[in-house]
Amino acid sequence: MKIAAGADHGGFALKQAVVRRLRSLGHEVIDVGTESEDVSVDYPVYGHKVGELVASGEVERGVLVCGTGIGICMSANRHKGVRAADCFTPYHAEITRRHNDCNVLCLGGRLLSEDEAWAITEVWLETPFEGGRHEQRVALLDEEDPA
């Protein structure tokens, strides 16, 4: 699978660990940065970079990490076709894939250990979208006025 990855300074270390593991499984990872935790950077820059790659179809999925996963998730979700979710447990990852066809996983670099983040990522990678009644709901996410 082709996956884009990005993080701000607060998520840099965890992003590096997740990217290493993704590559070890044979996934092609496009790392959009940041390149260090030493300099404070703006999370929206990296959320938008990954969001653009997913929205354009250049990659199938994305992984984003900031301190909590919240801000970077918000920035990715600004892109039509992106369904980013900030996940704190493997169950969050499972349900966002099954019911929401989540294509961008967001993680909290200051909240999760490497092992916790990887457990979440594994479930997110392996869980299929159920489709069915959820397809219409997912389609509504990209409509201007779904009501």
Name the residues annotated as catalytic.
66, 99
Residue 62 parent element (H or E): strand 61-66
End-to-end CA distance of the chain: 35
Residues 6+ apart with CB under 8 A from 131: none
Quick check: 117 and 18 in contact, CB under 8 A?
yes
Q: Which residue in 71, 83, 84, 87 sits closest to 120, CA to CA? A: 87
**Residue 28 in 3-state DSSP?**
strand
DSSP string over 60-109: SEEEEEESSSHHHHHHHTTSTT--EEE-SSHHHHHHHHHHH---EEEEET
